[in-house]
Amino acid sequence: MPAHRILIRDADVVLPDQVLQTNVLVEGTQIAAIDASRQHSADEVIEGRGLTLMPGVVDDQVHFREPGATHKEDIGSGSVACASGGVTTFLEMPNTQPTATSVAALQWKYDRAAKTSRVNYGFYIGATADNVDALQQAHFAPGIKIFIGSSTGDLLVDEQAALERIFAETTLPICAHCEDETTVRRNRAALGENLTTADHSRIRTAEAALIATQRAIALARKYSHRFHVLHVSTAIEVPEVRDGNPLITSEVCPHHLFFSTEDYATLGTLVQMNPSVKSPDDARLLWQALLAGDIQVVATDHAPHLLEEKGVPYPASPSGIPAVENSLALMLNQFNLGRCSLTQIASWMCDAPARVWDLVGKGRIAVGYDADLVLVDTQLERTIENSTQRTRARWSPWAGQTLKGWPIRTLVRGQTVFQNGQVSEDAHGSAVVCDHQRGGYWATPNGVGT
């Protein structure tokens, strides 16, 4: 049976090095042609004039809470939020209940996602002090996640000998939550009782982040192991990640770009997260680092809790915010403000994370790549409202903000999963394929090549 053909006509297409008004032909699950004839025969024609076609977003850091806390989110509900926000692929973290620290637990997530996820998916395996054997066997995972401080239970890996073994005896790329546990505990003890939410940033300081980041990067260099610094939150980390070492990549989250310690006064625990928000100067300098290429990826660290949970007085309130369905719109709004280009957004949110994690066929509009696409209206203005959020948490720290630029149609491997404000009940994503022989982000310099 011939593959279903879709012609996306006259759209402004965001390619790795330019935006070009042209026609894109999709055959089955893949992109078959760019600059195809407007009259090319197709089973379906999507009129793109006045709209922009981007690669689907690859969010390499989400927490979908399944198994163990599905009242906050599960893989299915998280994938619905992804589809509505233009995210066609997510990579999910291992700190569920139970944790994904064995091959069997990891496989359970893949099997569950095959049944419930509307978009493409991958799952990290979590490192503990004594599961190197499992880390060596999880060949199908995009990478290994280490919590160097700031976690609970067996996912906290803080002893040097255990960290050395993980970096020395495994081959998958590693990423880490970097906040020095000793520093965090010392800061907490020094503040005593009667804490306010603003104390969160006095406990989880820039220094705590820097110490752990330096420690992890030193291990990556020592053992020549690829390492990705998650959620860089402070300007003093930037020199550590920008020295051009091809083993090291990094990312920043929208909440560290758009919020600061000044927002505690109005948002309180709604901007409580780990790592904590930092000063306005940190946010400004993180933007500069992103624009300069010192940081390669923008990802959300989507970590939902219910509003009533966030409303518990600090420090009993949990850290984390939902973000996955608004992240692309937040960045498109910055494009409209003249702060960045569409090609930069596509690099940060689509191409770079696909290359960091060796995802085959993901992250760009190119012949032979998967037809993971999002059609956006860069002129559409919409106000974020809690009542319309598709995440199970049903709130956003950006509620009340009006953004210009929104996704209006999302395709995953050639099938429409989101259109006219609705997510398809019939759509299903696929597990990502990782080719770790490719060599990661730096194997394709300047964003060119496959």
Give residue-wise pLDDT tens across range 46-97.
Answer: 999 999 999 999 999 999 999 999 999 999 999 999 999 999 999 999 999 9
What pLDDT does 27 receive?
A: 97
Beta carbons of 60 and 298 less than 8 angstroms apart: no
Checking if the pLDDT of 450 tops 60, the result is: no
Domain 55-366 has CATH 3.40.50.800: no
| Bridge partner list, 418 | 410, 423
Question: Please, is 72 exposed, middle or buried when counting C-beta atoms within 10 Å of its C-beta (0-12, 13-18, 19+)?
Answer: buried
Record the tokens describing residue 145, joined without a space. Answer: 């996640």
CA dist 121 and 28 (Å) reads: 19
Instruction: Give me the helix-helix angle, 103-116 and 75-84, nearest 10°.
Output: 50
Which pTM was predicted?
A: 0.97
Beta carbons within 8 Å of 369's beta carbon, 6+ residues apart: 30, 31, 55, 361, 362, 363
CA dist 178 and 90 (Å) reads: 21
324-348 in b/e burial notation, b at 16+ Cβ within 10 A?
bbbbbbbbbbbbeeeebebbbbbbb
> How far, CA to CA in Å, does 284 sit from each of 290, 291, 348?
10, 11, 17
Give residue-wise pLDDT tens across range 296-325.
Answer: 999 999 999 999 999 999 999 999 999 999
Beta carbons of 25 and 37 less than 8 angstroms apart: no
User: ∠ at Cα 245 (243, 250), nearest 5°?
Assistant: 80
Farthest CA pair distance, the chain: 71
Beta carbons within 8 Å of 237's beta carbon, 6+ residues apart: 206, 209, 210, 213, 229, 250
Rounded to an integer, the average pLDDT of 83-112 is 98
User: ∠ at Cα 359 (148, 443), nearest 5°?
Assistant: 85
Give residue-wise pLDDT tens across range 166-190.
Answer: 999 999 999 999 999 999 999 999 9
Beta carbons of 85 and 407 less than 8 angstroms apart: yes
pLDDT category of residue 155 using cuts at 50, 70 and 90: confident
Q: Active-site residue among 59, 180, 301, 351?
A: 301
What pLDDT does 157 receive?
A: 85
What pLDDT does 158 receive?
A: 78
Q: Where are the domains of the chain?
A: 55-366
Among 322, 426, 287, 373, residue whose Cα is nearest residue 58: 373
What pLDDT does 449 receive?
A: 38
User: Is 301 labeled as catalytic in the residue annotation?
Assistant: yes
